[in-house]
Chains A and B, each alone.
Chain A
């Protein structure tokens, strides 16, 4: 993959060109339209360095992609006449004013088609909206290219068989929840890669933030969109402090906070604050508020734990998600002592609300350590280490247990 200066520009325009073509031809033509866009991008790579970048790169790409579509139609003997007549009826191709700012969102919604599995939605989004190549996606997931290619073609087939045309958007918020969830899955897979040696695959999280910005730009009034964007930026702002030179994880309370990206924190906090004036926060906005309190505090001791605890209770109430309660137990321990946190967890386990044994063991281990119950803490650290599939996390938990043993 070349890294010409136009690369970012092309990546930003590609989904919009694709969306414009799909609007004309229908989502059932995703394969063909995508090929046309790829060919237009290749042409740009070839011609721009030689002829100079055009004044309106988007119009150039759209014209180029659409010519390729017409070429393709012309070569299709069976449909030739009908399609040509159809092509004649098109509005002038290079008219950028016919393209709406929300083309990428439209495309995102297409990729988040309810007929597809979450994995398929994410993969297709990475390909069609983020503009990553099959090889790049395969690398991010440590999977063979053939597997990713299969996933993409399965996803396209899924959309095709679910209906050749994408259902018209019912409103600006249509399918937005799925879009946000897909972006967040993409972010978390990049941020805390669930398996492998690299605890943070920067590319996927960067893509997720880029898409989050895009959605936020189009839907500035949507509280959860702002919440998600803010949450991702706030989490990402700690990236440099999350691992040491050997890639081992560093817990929040031991991180060098001078490494946190202050500009990013300021930006995310203002996005969040502004959005909270517009409506009721949902799970993403609440989690962003929690992340903001962490990021604004100079140390663990000066963190506003009572407010974090209150936000976790609100999150638990809003989502009924036991993971929120489990995380809230840490805040509970900071406010009311480790034993209080432990009894919250025990109550959750007794109710059978949590099945993620690894998370329970890891959180219990920390609280037991803080409570001075060293032997039990060692046992829980070891238990959690055995259950994780992330090598950095396993090493961190094992190191924690060793430290208590010595």
Chain B
């Protein structure tokens, strides 16, 4: 089953991290990618730019209009994702829990099953 692990990030929390903490997070993600690639569970991952670089296209009077983003008016925003192929939801949760983000207050991982896929590499 395919699961998306969305990394939710709070820019204030990220800014308050020490250099060592940032290094630990970077190393943790490297190790996670190596591991899930080895097990064949990794499909893809992408990291996204900051909210300040985000635009939103939404309807205004039935016509598309571009405004500054992000979409939701919250402190947290989506910083990136992992797309995995795992045996079960339990396994997706287990893997998400191993990500360094899972051990930092103020960050969170959202796990959602994939309902449909299409594209050049599926």
Chain A residues packing against B (C-beta within 8 Å): 117, 119, 142-144, 146-147, 149-151, 153-154, 194-197, 389-391, 394
Contact B114 A147 (CB under 8 A): no
Contact B122 A143 (CB under 8 A): yes
- Which of A151, A195, A196, A390 lies in contact with B40, CB distance below 8 A? A151
Residues of B contacting A146 in the complex (Cβ-Cβ under 8 angstroms): 40
Contact A144 B116 (CB under 8 A): no
A150-B40, A154-B40 given; A391·B122 CB < 8 A:
no
Within 8 A of A (CB), among B104-122: 113-118, 121-122
- Provide a sorted-by-A list of 25 A–B residue pairs whose CB atoms are within 8 angstroms: A117-B87, A142-B118, A142-B122, A143-B2, A143-B85, A144-B43, A144-B121, A146-B40, A147-B40, A147-B43, A147-B85, A149-B40, A150-B40, A154-B40, A194-B1, A195-B1, A195-B2, A195-B113, A196-B116, A196-B117, A389-B114, A389-B115, A390-B115, A391-B115, A394-B115
Contact A195 B39 (CB under 8 A): no
Chain B residues packing against A (C-beta within 8 Å): 1-2, 39-40, 43, 85, 87, 113-118, 121-122
How long is the Cα–Cα vector from A117 to B43 in the complex, in angstroms? 19
Contact B117 A142 (CB under 8 A): yes
How long is the Cα–Cα vector from A367 to B64 in the complex, in angstroms? 43
Q: Which secondary structure characterizes the binding site on chain B?
A: loop
Contact A154 B43 (CB under 8 A): no
A349 vs chain B, min Cβ distance (A): 21
How long is the Cα–Cα vector from A149 to B38 in the complex, in angstroms? 12
A140 vs chain B, min Cβ distance (A): 12
A199 vs chain B, min Cβ distance (A): 12
Contact A143 B87 (CB under 8 A): no
Contact A391 B116 (CB under 8 A): yes
A156 vs chain B, min Cβ distance (A): 12
Contact A150 B113 (CB under 8 A): no
Q: How many A-B residue pairs have CB under 8 A?
A: 40
Residues of B contacting A149 in the complex (Cβ-Cβ under 8 angstroms): 40
A144-B43, A389-B114, A389-B115 provided; 4 other pairs, C-beta below 8 A? Answer: A143-B85, A146-B40, A151-B40, A195-B116
Residue of A nearest to B117 (CB): A142
Residue of A nearest to B84 (CB): A147
How long is the Cα–Cα vector from A348 to B114 in the complex, in angstroms? 29
A143-B122, A144-B122 given; A195·B115 CB < 8 A:
yes
B38 vs chain A, min Cβ distance (A): 8
B76 vs chain A, min Cβ distance (A): 24
Residues of A contacting B116 in the complex (Cβ-Cβ under 8 angstroms): 195-197, 391
Residues of B contacting A390 in the complex (Cβ-Cβ under 8 angstroms): 115
Residues of B contacting A389 in the complex (Cβ-Cβ under 8 angstroms): 113-115
Residues of B contacting A143 in the complex (Cβ-Cβ under 8 angstroms): 2, 43, 85, 122
A142-B122, A144-B122, A147-B85 given; A195·B43 CB < 8 A:
no
Residues of B contacting A194 in the complex (Cβ-Cβ under 8 angstroms): 1
Residues of B contacting A154 in the complex (Cβ-Cβ under 8 angstroms): 39-40
Contact A119 B121 (CB under 8 A): no
Residues of A contacting B85 in the complex (Cβ-Cβ under 8 angstroms): 143, 147
Residues of B contacting A150 in the complex (Cβ-Cβ under 8 angstroms): 39-40
Contact B114 A195 (CB under 8 A): yes
Residue of B nearest to A151 (CB): B40
How long is the Cα–Cα vector from A144 to B44 in the complex, in angstroms? 10
Residues of B contacting A142 in the complex (Cβ-Cβ under 8 angstroms): 117-118, 122
Residues of A contacting B114 in the complex (Cβ-Cβ under 8 angstroms): 195, 389
Which of B1, B115, B121 gathers the greatest number of chain A CB atoms within 10 Å? B115
